[in-house]
Amino acid sequence: MEKINLMINGLPGNVAAKIAQFAIADERFNVIAYSLTGQEIENKIYSIDSINFELVKPDIRDKKIQEIKSRFASFIAIDYTHPFAVNKNALFYTQNLIPFVMGTTGGDRVKLEQLVSDSSTMAVIAPNMAKQIVGFQAMMEYAANTFPNLFEGYTLNIIESHQKGKADTSGTAKAMVEHFNKLGTDFDVNNIEMVRDPELQEKEWKIPKEHLAGHGWHTYTLKAKDGSALFEFKHNINGRDIYVSGTFDAVLFLNEKLAQPDNPKKLYTMIDVLNRK
């Protein structure tokens, strides 16, 4: 099988670095030694194993992408950048006809999806690339559509803990609110509790110290008004390895879709990836 060229954007961010580390060692991929980064990043080069990545800032990326495209006829971008950059990066990819897999959360998701759907660029976009969590979300969506108002009258509490550097509320938690509200709750996404205090995470949540800098713990609690019944759903992820295989599956899926030039659909989700035969 011919190797797939990958441009991994978001270095020196932790998730992008983890993705790059695994991709370099994966025989299915050829990793391009460039990475889009933020204007505030001081380093010009970021090294992982044998590759010295040139970090490309917004003020030079329009020019630099032409150089990259002249060297690589085709490639897929993987985007794990910053929530504030989501919409700008998607616009950049579509303007330059670069297919992409975006696991970055945040931004205006409605505009993001509309942009890709109206463009000539294919993409897989999901607030979470962990296949097991995506499967859990799909199960909850099925329940919401099949048993609407099942939890009518129940109160919902959502609390999520992530590493201190995560700027926004969990995209996964936000996505779950829609399903729970279909199930009968009346929950405002702005009421999701965010925990970013490492001391609190270690002492009260009992999150292993080695994973304070990279984790995602979520708890969804449904409680009857009279206190007679309580239902609780949890997914606690330590580290970032779980997101790697899902991201790579999304890349392989997108590569297959790119081989179908007459396919009118441009926007895909991780549910599409999980349904890949």
The average confidence (pLDDT) of the chain is: 95
Average pLDDT over residues 187-207: 97
276, pLDDT greater than 90: no
What gap in Å lies between CA 192 and CA 130, rounded to an integer?
21
Residue 122's pLDDT is 97
SS3 content of the chain, % helix, strand, coil (to 5): 40, 25, 40
* Residues annotated catalytic, as ranges: 162, 166
* Domain ranges (residues) in the chain: 4-125+241-274, 131-238
Average pLDDT over residues 104-122: 94
Q: CATH assignment of 131-238, given 3.40.50.720, 3.30.360.10, 3.40.50.300, 3.40.50.1820?
A: 3.30.360.10
DSSP string, 32-95: -SEEE--TT---SEEEETTEEEEEE-TTTHHHHHHHHHHH-S--EEEE---GGGHHHHHHHHHH
What gap in Å lies between CA 15 and CA 103, rounded to an integer?
10
Which tens digit of pLDDT belongs to each residue from 154-171? 999 999 999 998 888 998
What gap in Å lies between CA 123 and CA 81, rounded to an integer?
16
Q: CATH assignment of 4-125+241-274, given 3.40.228.10, 3.40.50.10490, 3.90.660.10, 3.40.50.720?
A: 3.40.50.720
Which tens digit of pLDDT belongs to each residue from 51-93? 999 999 999 999 999 999 999 999 999 999 988 999 999 999 9
Q: How confident is the model at residue 41 (pLDDT cuts 50, 70, 90)?
A: very high
Average pLDDT over residues 252-257: 96
* pTM (two decimals): 0.85
Which tens digit of pLDDT belongs to each residue from 114-154? 999 999 999 999 988 999 999 999 999 999 999 999 999 99
Residue 277's pLDDT is 59
Q: Is 263 exposed, middle or buried (0-12, 13-18, 19+ CB in 10 A)?
A: exposed
